[in-house]
């Protein structure tokens, strides 16, 4: 099963972005201000946000669909072209009223020097159409991943979770914000430490963290809460037990997009029938691999299983 992961059918829904990278050489400081001058030598475009989750899922062999909103602009065309080229099933809605979300990163000497964001929330009409489309797509997929970057694409997340739960789907959520109540009824939430702290407050001991995490898991009626803890690995909280998975020791090069890789890998493993604890262990391994790469990146089956 680990060699053949093609049984998973994953629908990724959320904030779709275009990640742009400008790579260049830095050899001097600007005479106009105390900032480095980057002479751009190479440009790259990659899928970002929910689209990066889909990119990671399809890299593992999963049958993957992407539902989201982009603008009717050049960046939206670029997203569509990248999605099509990766054989992701595209359910992108084009909203003429907004620009496509772009994160532009300027890289000099293998370090990120600057990030510039372009974003506006999508219109209510497009979001209404998206909810109808989500309901129509549910029968085609087994695992639903809701990738929330707080950019406005998941205002209907409560209705989506209710519909997916009624249809008997596994629902994974990468959450944002200080109110997780809208994710009630999902199967698994995957917050990082900072995101969890926003919701439950700080903790001083492992026992206090466990108590707060389990109280939240119970209140939201989750199957599990998976806390990603960067250098501390992950902690999986279920009704019956708490499991700590240590991090895979390696050089951390870039953490951007690591959460996308983790939730995509988790979805792919669960979609192929692996037990939750084993799926989490493999997702942890994938996160450890991807932070050793520059920018939003993917992990292959060969890297995971050798």
Q: What is the pLDDT of residues 276-286, one digit of tens each?
A: 999 999 999 99
pLDDT per position as a tens digit, 7-51: 899 999 999 999 999 999 998 999 999 999 999 999 999 999 999
Counting the structural domains of the chain, the total is 1
Q: Collapse the DSSP code of 118 into the 3-class scheme (helix H, G, I; strand E, B; otherwise coil) and give the result.
A: strand
- The reply to whether 262 falls in a domain is yes
In a domain, 1, yes or no: no
Determine contact, residues 259/220, Cβ cutoff 8 Å: no
Per-residue pLDDT for 90 more than 70?
yes
Q: What is the pTM of this model?
A: 0.92
Contact call for residues 44 and 21 (beta carbons, < 8 A): yes
Model confidence band, residue 183 (pLDDT cutoffs 50, 70, 90):
very high
Statement: residue 1 has pLDDT above 60: no
Rounded CA separation 292/294 (Å): 7
151 part of a folded domain: yes
Query: What is the span of the domain harbouring residue 79?
Result: 9-17+48-100+120-305
Do the domain assignments include residue 148? Answer: yes
Tokens of 258: 């690591």
78 lies in a domain? yes
Catalytic residue among 15, 19, 254, 260: 260
Query: CATH number for the domain including 143?
Result: 3.40.1190.20
Between the alpha carbon of residue 272 and those of residues 1, 121, 135, 170, 294, the distances in Å are: 7, 35, 23, 12, 29
Average pLDDT along the chain: 91
Contact (CB, 8 A) for 244 and 207? no
Distance CA 150, CA 131 (A): 17
Q: Determine whether 260 is an active site residue.
A: yes
Is 22 within a domain?
no
Asked whether residue 33 is domain-assigned, the answer is no
């Amino acid at each position: 099963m680990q060699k053949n992961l093609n049984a998973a059918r994953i629908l990724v829904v959320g904030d779709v972005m275009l990640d742009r990278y400008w790579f260049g050489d830095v050899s001097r400081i600007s005479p106009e201000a105390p900032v480095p001058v980057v002479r751009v030598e190479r440009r790259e475009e990659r899928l970002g946000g929910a689209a990066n989750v889909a990119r990671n899922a399809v890299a593992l062999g999963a049958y993957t669909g992407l539902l989201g909103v982009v603008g009717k602009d050049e960046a939206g065309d670029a997203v569509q072209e990248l999605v099509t080229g990766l054989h992701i099933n595209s359910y992108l809605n084009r909203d003429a009223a907004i620009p496509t979300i772009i994160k532009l990163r300027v890289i000099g000497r293998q370090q990120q020097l600057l990030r510039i964001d372009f974003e506006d929330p999508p219109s209510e009409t497009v979001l209404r159409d998206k909810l109808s489309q989500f309901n129509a797509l549910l029968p085609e997929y087994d695992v639903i991943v809701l990738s929330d970057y707080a950019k406005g694409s998941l205002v209907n997340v409560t209705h989506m979770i209710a519909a997916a739960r009624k249809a008997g789907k596994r629902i994974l959520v990468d959450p944002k914000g200080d109110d997780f109540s809208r994710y009630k009824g999902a199967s698994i939430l995957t917050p990082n430490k900072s995101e969890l702290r926003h919701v439950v407050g700080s903790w001083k001991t492992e026992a206090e963290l466990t108590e707060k995490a389990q109280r939240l898991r119970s209140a939201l009626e989750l199957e599990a809460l998976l806390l990603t803890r960067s250098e501390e690995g992950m902690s999986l909280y279920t009704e019956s037990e708490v499991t700590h998975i240590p991090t895979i020791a390696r050089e951390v090069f870039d953490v951007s997009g690591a959460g996308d890789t983790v939730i995509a890998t988790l979805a792919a493993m669960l979609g192929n029938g692996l037990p939750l604890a084993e799926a989490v262990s493999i997702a942890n391994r994938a996160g450890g691999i991807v932070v050793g790469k520059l920018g939003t990146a993917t992990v292959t089956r060969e890297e995971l299983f050798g």
